[in-house]
Amino acid sequence: MTAFLRMGGYAQYLWPAYGIAFTVVILNVIWARRMLARARAEARRRVAVHGEFALRGEQA
Amino acid sequence: MTWTWFHRLGSPPHVYRLAERLTPWFAWPAGLLIVGALYGGLVLAPPDYQQGDGFRIMYAHVPCAWMSLMVYVTMATASAVGLIWRMKVAYAVAASCAPIGASFTAATLMTGMLWGRPMWGTYWEWDPLLTSELLLLFLYLGYLGLRSSFDDMQRADRASAVLAVVGVVNVPIIHFSVYWWNSLHQAPSVMKLGAPTIALPMLIPLLMMFLGFTLYFIAILLVRLRGEVLRRERSASWIREVVTP
Amino acid sequence: MSAAAATVASRTEVPPALAVAWLALARDLRLAFRKREQLIQPLAFFVIVTALFPLSITPELGELRPIAPGVLWVAALLSSLLALDFLFRDDAQDGTLEQYALSGRSLTWLLFAKTAAHWVLTGVPLALIAPLTGVALGAPGYSLLGIVVTIATGTLALSLLGSIGAALTVGVKRSGVLLSLLTLPLAVPILIFGARATQLAIRNESFAAPLELLAAIVVLCLTLAPLAAAAAVRISLE
């Protein structure tokens, strides 16, 4: 197990690299979901405020 | 008949619902492939003759680089589709791509530096690959910057679409010029493994990574796409049913 | 088309796109010469920036000579970018740009004319001053013509390429930095080939190869940039 973690001496470069890649992968998932939630909340608010007919046609 | 699927993609409610349905079909296979590739690359593949275990950084760095390029091409293609066919959905795709691509380009640079330090001895080298990636990051940032400078969504879409198309035409030229510049001053530095053909146990996890990350990108794109489509919608009728839980 | 309309159309002289473009070019040159002080500004900037390098590195000409091509090119790049701001701004503000777009004439040719005028007003003077600053950085006498040629070609490509970014940001307030951020990465090939050509000229070697590559970029920009700029102007004017 320790041999695996040591990665033949490259550990101090290898694991941070994996950490960065992993972080960006997870961050993108979080960002995307948050962005969608925010867009849905905005749309809900717009529908509630403007209703059906005000939104069609020209943007207020 | 055969093009109806394309024209239906111009309909925001259709795209929204389709994206919602398709996301898990991309997300789960992506996760499995990536985990499988990690196991294959970190555990199963034997140490490299020259680089020992160091080559395994490749499985973190190369997928990021792949993402940075694939996402830019997707962004530019979607932009072109939007400009030619005036499809709002296409602009929504392009807008969704930009943050994904920019973050992975930054990750490519950072992982590249971490790979370079043990391999070349310095954290940064002006080698053609890293330099091209740096310029690609600037292209992404320019795209995002241009977008944010417009209040009007439509104008932001169209202006950044022109920039993306101009950028993608430029990318091969930039790439060529950077390689040309680099070759003037030193032997081209090889970021790939020394052997011209990679051994199969090393190659398979890499291919799994390519496929897995492609599916992952599509999954993330589909999530963001739904949000971007909502932002561009004016007619409230279909939104109402979709956002009231 | 009815017979009457057809005769009317054939009788009214429609100037070809080229003639109209020439008029636009002449107009831009004339307008610029009325404000001659403004023409000096990019040149002054160029000279100042070039002077900053010896001040911050070393006064030794021998040590400056190797970096002279880079300094000249970066300074020329930055000066051209600053000057790009003037390309469309005045015309956008007083509505001339809109007139160009609505005129029914080829917007592509009109914008090409404006970009050509911009190059004549900034790029060419930069190219003519560059030998002076080059000498100040240690460039030998035989390289001066090479410096002029390489920088003139490069600034032409830069004006064309920059016109796209300028058209995209014409409505944006305080767009100077954004314009530079957009254009600089795209300008890297111009910089690489141009600086290499200047470097070879200073070393008294043949600089044909990079100059040809630079010329190829110029040709590409000549054909594509005005088109993209026209599309961008139309988007900005909506």
Residue C170 tokens, joined: 């014409």
Task: Judge if pTM exceeds 0.90.
Answer: no
* Percentage of chain C exceeding pLDDT 70: 94
Give the SS3 label for residue A34. helix
Instruction: State the pLDDT at residue B237.
Output: 79
The CA distance from B129 to B5, in Å, is 38
Q: How close C188 gets to chain B, by Cα (Å)? A: 7
**Average pLDDT of every residue of chain A:** 81
Dist CA C67 CA A56 (whole Å): 61
Give 3-state DSSP helix, strand, coil % of chain C, rounded to 5: 85, 0, 15
Inter-residue contact C208 to C218 (CB < 8 Å): no
Distances in Å between the Cα of C231 and the Cα atoms of B144, B184, C146, C163, C220 are: 19, 37, 35, 11, 17
Q: Shortest CA distance to B74 belongs to which of B210, B221, B173? A: B221
Tens digit of each residue's pLDDT (9 = 90 or more) over B152-161 = 999 999 999 9
Q: ipTM score here?
A: 0.86
Decide if pLDDT at C6 tops 80: no
How is chain B classified by DSSP, letter by letter?
A: -TTHHHHHTT-HHHHHHHHHHHHHHHHHHHHHHHHHHHHIIIIISPPBTTTBTGGGGHHHHHHHHHHHHHHHHHHHHHHHHHHHH--HHHHHHHHHHHHHHHHHHHHHHHHHHHHHHHHHSSS----HHHHHHHHHHHHHHHHHHHHHT-SSHHHHHHHHHHHHHHHHHHHHHHHHHHHHHHHHHSPPP--S-SSSS--HHHHHHHHHHHHHHHHHHHHHHHHHHHHHHHHT----HHHHHHH--
Convert the pLDDT of each residue in C129-145 to its tens digit: 999 999 999 999 999 99
**What digits encode the pLDDT tens for the residues B87-104?**
999 999 999 999 999 999
Q: What is the pLDDT of residues B23-41, one digit of tens each?
A: 999 999 999 999 999 988 8
Residue A54 has pLDDT above 50, yes or no: no
Task: Report whether B100 contacts B217 (CB < 8 A).
Answer: yes
Token pair for B67: 């993402």
Identity of the amino acid at B224:
R
Checking if the pLDDT of C100 tops 70, the result is yes
* Side-chain-side CA neighbours of residue B79 (13 Å): 28
Distances (CA, A) of C10 to B167, C2, C5, C6: 43, 12, 9, 6
pLDDT of residue C98: 87
Report whether B7 contacts B15 (CB < 8 A): no
Closest CA to C183 of C163, C210, C153, C155: C163
Taking the C-alpha atoms of residue A25 and residue B35, their distance in angstroms, rounded to an integer, is 12
Cα gap A38→B165, rounded to integer Å: 29
- Write out pLDDT tens, residues C212-234: 999 999 999 999 999 999 999 99
C151 has a pLDDT exceeding 90: yes
Distance of CA B78 to the CA centre of its chain: 13
Measure in Å the smallest separation between the Cα of C207 and chain B Cα atoms: 13
Looking at the structure of chain A, the number of domains it has is 1
From chain A, the residues in CB contact with B57 under 8 A are 10, 13-14, 17-18
Q: Longest C-alpha distance within chain C, in Å?
A: 78
- Per-residue pLDDT tens for A8-17? 777 888 889 9
Say what the pLDDT of residue B245 is. Answer: 63
| C149 Cβ contact partners less than 8 Å away, ≥ 6 residues apart | C127, C211
CA B175 to chain centre: 17
d(CA C159, CA C157): 6
Domain residue limits at A21: 8-55
Query: In this structure, which amino acid lies at residue C149?
Result: V
Domain-located, residue A3 = no
Contact B165, C229 (CB under 8 A): no
SS3 C49: helix
Which residue in the set A24, A40, A47 is minimally distant from B104, CB to CB? A24
Contacts of C178 in chain B (CB under 8 A): 142, 145-146, 149
Q: What token pair was written down for B126?
A: 């002006």
- Encoded tokens for B12: 């925001």
Quote the pLDDT of residue C238: 77
Domain ranges of chain B: 57-230
Question: Span A34-52, mean pLDDT?
Answer: 85
Q: Residues C179-186: what's their mean pLDDT?
A: 94
Chain B residues near residue C175 by CB distance under 8 angstroms: 149
Residue in B closest to C226 by C-alpha: B166
> Whose structure tokens read 């992975």?
B104
Q: Which tokens is B232 given?
A: 């561009």
Q: Chain C contact for B178, CB < 8 A?
A: yes
Residues in A touching B156 (Cβ below 8 Å): none
Residue A60 lies in a domain: no
SS3 category, C43: helix
B84 and chain C: CB distance < 8 Å anywhere?
Answer: no
Asked if the structure places residue A41 within a domain, the reply is yes
Tell me if B233 and A59 make a contact (CB, 8 A cut-off). Answer: no
Instruction: Determine the pLDDT at residue B201.
Output: 80
SS3 call for C86: helix
**B142 vs C181, C228, C231: nearest CB:** C181
pLDDT of residue B193: 39
- Taking contacts as CB-CB distances below 8 angstroms, the residues of chain B near A50 are 236
Structure tokens belonging to residue B50? 């020259």
The closest of A17, C61, C11, C169 to B146, measured between CA atoms, is C169
CA distances from C105 to C17, C100, C124, C167, C235 (A): 6, 7, 28, 18, 17
